Each structure stands twice: as structure tokens, then as C-alpha cells.
Amino acid sequence: MIDIHTHILPGLDDGAASFDDTLNMARAAVSEGITTIIATPHHANGTYTNTADVVAVHTSSINDQLLAAGVPVTIRAGQEIRVHDDLLDAWNRKELLSLAGSSFVLIEMPSSRIPKSMIELVHELNILNLKPIIAHPERNAEVVKHPERLAELIEAGAFAQVTSHSLLGGFGKRIEQSSWSLLKAGLIHIVSSDAHHIERRGFRLREAYDAIERRMGEQWVSYLQMNAQSVIADEPFHSQPAAAATTDGVVRRIISYFYKR
């Protein structure tokens, strides 16, 4: 398995605080069957600033240390980039990282709302041949109330990543319901852990895939796992099983799904 959203690098944000934390997380990931982890420390969220060069150096160092410790997992570099006014200029200044050197970038919206500039930002990133993946939209209050607004962002060229803990009820019942509704409506393209700490917030990726298989079938597990592989390979995402909600008439379909079922 591949995990594209984690906070495994030590001392950079509210994730792993020390190498011991990182080592414990890496061993836990291996025990779940995770072979590749993209480290995505918070960047430009008002609390943490982790520029591309800093993340790259830390990632290289951690890979060396995990290799020496005999832990068979590969860490790739990335960032969880908060939407901010300077984002495009920061990309041009080479302060930002895509995920594992691909054309995919992990973008975080504020938890309370969808920024007014989001559709424009998605368009601008697409012009730069970048594919924005919106981190954990199921935890965004505006998306929970108005899922059709996430559909509009996807129609504009964005993708969306749900968190394993959200699917499993780790953030409460409402977010759990939102997660499954978005997934069933075809608005989720990838699952990741957003792991921060082995005890406070571990991976639970295998557990999430097992739940998806029970509720939606093995074809959805394959689809989501292949998309994670596509990030690493820098290839287009795969077609969704059955009638994807992200084809023609996406907003109409989503409105129908959420409000007329």
C-alpha cells in the first residue's frame, strides 16, 4: 500500500516529535502492509512553515536512518500546503513541493469554509500542469453542508482525498457520515491516513480499505489503491467503478444524490 498524506518527519509540525516517533510510525506502517509513505508536513498554515528544501533534506536523512534501522519502507517528499494568497508565487519561487516529484500537489483548505478563490486556484494550478488533491474535504464544514460545492471544484479539475480515520469514525459521527456520502457519490479519489503519531493518530489504512470493501466492494478498493500508485508513478487517475459521479453533469448528479435520495 501507498500512503500519500502523513506527518512522519520528526520535529517539523504537530506530527512525529522525534526520530523515535518516526521509527515507531514507520514500523507500524510496515506491519499494515504500507511500502511507500509520502511525508507531507504542514506548510503555510499560519503555524508551520516547511519549505521545499527543508522537507527534502529531512526526507533524505530519515530514509537513511530507516534503512540503517532495517525498516523496509520508503519515504518520499511532499507538503500539505494550506491555501494562501501567495501560493502560486511560492510555487514559482520553488518553495513548494508536489507529491513525490509528481504533478500532484496536496492542498489544504481551512476547516470552516471553502476559500472564495478555490476554483480560480484550481484553474491556475491546472495551467501549470499541476493536479491539486484536496486534503480531507470531509472535515471541511462548508463541504459537509454543501457537498455540491466540492463537486464544483472537482469538475474544475481538482481531486479529493479522504482520511482513514474519518471513514472509521475517528472524528465523530457527522464526519464519518460525510466521508461515506462523498465516497459513494464519487467525489473521493484517494484514501490516506493523515497519520501524526502511532497512538494519537496512527495509519489505520488497512482497516479503512477493509471497511470500503465491505460496504462498497473490492472494485472500489482497487480503484483507490491504484490512484495512490498513480501519484507515485505520476500517471492519470483511473476511471471510477460503475457510474462515476465525476463524469458529465457532475453537479446535477451530486445534488440529486445528496438531496433527493
pLDDT tens per residue, range 68-95: 999 999 999 999 999 999 999 999 999 9
Q: Does 258 score more than 90 pLDDT?
A: no
**CA dihedral for 160, 206, 217, 2, sign (positive or negative):** positive
pLDDT average, residue stretch 23-44:
98
- Please check the confidence at residue 48 and state whether its pLDDT lies above 50: yes
The whole-chain average pLDDT of the chain stands at 94
- Say what the pLDDT of residue 200 is: 85
Q: What's the sign of the alpha-carbon dihedral 50, 56, 57, 63? A: positive
pLDDT of 156 reads 97
Sign of the Cα pseudo-torsion (13, 18, 21, 24, in order): positive
Torsion sign, CA atoms 137, 141, 146, 149: negative
17 has a pLDDT exceeding 50 = yes
261, pLDDT greater than 80? no
Alpha helices for the chain (secondary structure H): 19-32, 52-68, 87-92, 118-127, 141-145, 147-156, 164-167, 173-184, 205-216, 218-233, 250-259
End-to-end CA distance of the chain: 34
Question: What span, in angstroms and rounded, lies between the C-alpha atoms of 194 and 243?
Answer: 28
Q: Please write the tens of the pLDDT for every residue from 104-144.
A: 999 999 999 999 999 999 999 999 999 999 999 999 999 99
Looking at residues 11-35, what average pLDDT do you find?
98
Checking if the pLDDT of 157 tops 90, the result is yes
Domain 2-259 has CATH 3.20.20.140: yes
3-state secondary structure at position 16:
coil
Residue 88 has a CB neighbour count (10 Å cut-off) of: 16
Is it the case that residue 260 has pLDDT exceeding 50?
A: no
- Residue 77 to residues 54, 68, 74, 146: CA-CA distances in angstroms? 10, 19, 10, 33
Grade residue 256 by pLDDT with cuts at 50, 70 and 90.
Answer: low
Q: Do 148 and 255 touch, CB atoms closer than 8 A?
A: yes
pLDDT at 254: 57
Domain ranges of the chain: 2-259
3-state secondary structure 52-74: HHHHHHHHHHHHHHHHHCCCCCE
* Residues contacting 63, CB < 8 A, separation 6+: 74, 75
Instruction: Look at residue 190 and give its three-state secondary structure.
Output: strand
pTM: 0.93
Give the pLDDT score at 248. 42
Q: What pLDDT does 249 receive?
A: 47
Give me Rg for the CA atoms of the chain. 17
Find out whether 41 and 48 touch, Cβ atoms under 8 Å: yes
Q: Is the pLDDT of residue 59 over 80?
A: yes
**pLDDT over 50 at 63, yes or no:** yes
pLDDT of residue 242: 76
